[in-house]
Amino acid sequence: MIETLKTENIRELICQLCRQFYLLGWVSGTGGGISIRDGDRIYMAPSGVQKERIEPEDLYVLDLQGNVVEGPQYEEYCVSACKPLFMNAYHLRNAGAVIHSHSLNAMLATLISGEVFRVTGLEMMKGIEGMNIDDTLEVPVIGNTPHESQLTDSMARAMREFPKTQAVLVKGHGVYIWGKDWKQAKTQAECYDYLFAAAVQMRRLQL
Ligand SMILES: [Zn+2]
């Protein structure tokens, strides 16, 4: 059951979360972002804007096919470059929200992994759907491309190959994480980020 919020609350919520993610270093330099679905409407930010400064009226509203049904008044804006990647999570996983993070932890985790990031035995794994500490958490790592939208097919392939994963890492770039609603997407993103940081530290400490 997807929680329904008032439209103005979703817009405000996205701005709040962007400010929070900015402070975590997940959306600095205009990269990264969050999209939330509310019933048959999908909200996302414009492309290439400072995410910590967006206002509720700057957001785009899309239908489930990804067509823009409502947009900001500024002609220089266009919808987030992450749109087709966010749509992957909505279409393939029935997600309620998707976060794209350029976190240094996620980026470094891709550099110490091959095609799959793996971790086991850590308490924070319990924050990821279907995981317990004696499982092995696997996150596929796909190759980066010059343009964000070119990741669409390889992300979809990785999602089909790893039906349990709630995230897809992008080499030298960051991560896409989704959840059944914005709360789960956010808490899973926090747990994944901790696990990526832990794996990087464990490698450094040669554990
Ligand atoms: Zn990105």
pLDDT digits (tens, 9 = 90+) for 43-56: 999 988 999 999 99
Active site residue: 55, 123, 129, 161, which one? 123
> What residue segments make up the domains of the chain, in order of their start?
7-204
Pairwise pLDDT comparison (3 vs 81), residue with the higher score: 81
Q: Is it the case that residue 76 has pLDDT exceeding 90? A: no
Q: Is it the case that residue 82 has pLDDT exceeding 50? A: yes
Q: What's the mean pLDDT in 172-193?
A: 98
Ligand 1 centre from 207 Cα, in Å?
A: 30
Q: What's the mean pLDDT in 32-47?
A: 95
Ligand 1 centre from 186 Cα, in Å?
A: 17
Q: How confident is the model at residue 1 (pLDDT cuts 50, 70, 90)?
A: very low
Ligand 1 centre from 134 Cα, in Å?
A: 31
How many angstroms separate the most distant Cα atoms in the chain? 53
123 classed as catalytic: yes
- The per-residue pLDDT for 73 is 80
- The per-residue pLDDT for 54 is 94
pLDDT digits (tens, 9 = 90+) for 86-143: 999 999 999 999 999 999 999 999 999 999 999 999 999 999 999 999 999 999 999 9
The fold for domain 7-204 equals L-fuculose-1-phosphate Aldolase (3.40.225)
Residue 169: CA count within 13 A, CB half-sphere: 27
Ligand 1 centre from 174 Cα, in Å?
A: 6
Residue 134: CA count within 13 A, CB half-sphere: 0
